[in-house]
Amino acid sequence: MSLLSLREVTRTVIPPDQPALTILSGVDLTIDAGDHVSIVGRSGSGKSTLLNMLGLLDLPTSGEITFDDRPVKTYSAAKRDRLRGAAIGFVFQQFNLLPGRTALENVTMPLLYSTGRTFWRRRRIAAEMLELVGLGHRLSSLPDRLSGGEQQRVAIARSLVRGPRLILADEPTGALDLDTGQSVMDLIDDVATRTGAAQVTITHDPMIARRARRHFRLERGVLTPVDDPSLEPLTRRNRRETAPDAEANGAAATDDALADLGFADLSTPATTSAPSDRTVD
């Protein structure tokens, strides 16, 4: 059973007074539980459009998307929203934190939409998640008091706080310097490995892409598997050459904290079930 599958997915838009524009063309991609996929592509190749499909934010113009082997198009918008909220975590280049809210309030936010959790329980889960990303000492900090790397850690805590089965990252290190970017990726990899979440990372950076198990390139809306993204030409420098501004301490996740957060059984890493050399179906 696959977690998420795209078959012959096409996305066409018709801009006002312009001919139809095909952004994605015949995309086939199957993501299994615990899978780790990277997608590289030039600016404008359709990466974010594809991510919106994977995140059930948009439906394809043609082709089929299934989640847990059930066709997503049969779901109402409200049901898709619920499924997305419960099963998918997004990490973006722009951290998208609410500016007037503390780190703790930002991470608590997604829990407001899940039922059965009291105020104090939500607070405790969010605080534990921030602890997990190495920010237990910054619970009441506002985003503008945090470094870029710390803000991204808060954003990651927020995207993982409901224990998603799929983590979708669109240029997650795009606004970070090299070292901070690596430590942020270590953190996402660590949590994903421990929880069995699948990861799809969209990036311009071949070294980030290399961390995945399977690699793809998107070119003018066509997705093709590639062997080694570091051998692909660099499409854009996306590293700021600033001094590292955050300590790489967030990867110090503990099994206890994860278990407390309601993640799946952590005694057996779920990634063992993930295929190592799959290609596009």
Ligand X SMILES: Nc1ncnc2c1ncn2[C@@H]1O[C@H](COP(=O)(O)OP(=O)(O)OP(=O)(O)O)[C@@H](O)[C@H]1O
Binding residues (CB under 6 A) for ligand X: these are 13, 15, 21, 23, 41, 43-49
Output the smallest distance, CB 150 to Mg ion, in A. 24
- 250 touches, from ligand X, Mg ion, none (C-beta below 5 to 8 Å by class): none
Contact (Cβ atoms closer than 8 angstroms) between residue 62 and residue 76: no
CB of 49 or CB of 151, closer to ligand X: 49
SS3 240: strand
Q: With contacts defined by CB under 5 A, how many residues of the chain interact with Mg ion?
A: 2
Instruction: From 44-52, 88-96, 190-198, 257-265, give the range in contact with Mg ion by CB under 5 A.
Output: 44-52
Q: Is 48 in the site for Mg ion (CB under 5 A)?
A: yes
CB of 48 or CB of 147, closer to Mg ion: 48
Closest CA to 150 of 189, 107, 120, 194: 107
Q: Provide φ and ψ at 53, rounded to 5°.
A: -70, -45
- 214 touches, from ligand X, Mg ion, none (C-beta below 5 to 8 Å by class): none
Instruction: From 45-53, 139-147, 217-225, 232-240, give the range in contact with Mg ion by CB under 5 A.
Output: 45-53
Q: Name the closest residue to Mg ion (Cβ).
A: 48
| C-alpha distance across the termini of the chain, in Å | 13
Output the smallest distance, CB 269 to Mg ion, in A. 31
Q: Provide φ and ψ at 12, rounded to 5°.
A: -120, 135
Beta strands in the chain (DSSP E): 4-13, 21-31, 36-40, 62-67, 70-71, 88-92, 166-170, 198-202, 214-219, 222-226
Output the smallest distance, CB 229 to Mg ion, in A. 17
Is residue 260 packed enough to be buried (19+ CB in 10 Å), middle (13-18) or exposed (0-12)? middle
Output the smallest distance, CB 175 to ligand X, in A. 13
- 43 touches, from Mg ion, ligand X, none (C-beta below 5 to 8 Å by class): ligand X
Token pair for residue 189? 């990899």
Q: Provide φ and ψ at 241, rounded to 5°.
A: -90, 50
Q: Is 235 in the site for Mg ion (CB under 5 A)?
A: no
Contact (Cβ atoms closer than 8 angstroms) between residue 211 and residue 48: no
Q: Is 96 in the site for Mg ion (CB under 5 A)?
A: no
Output the smallest distance, CB 268 to Mg ion, in A. 36
Output the smallest distance, CB 134 to ligand X, in A. 28
* Sites of contact with Mg ion (CB under 5 A): 47-48
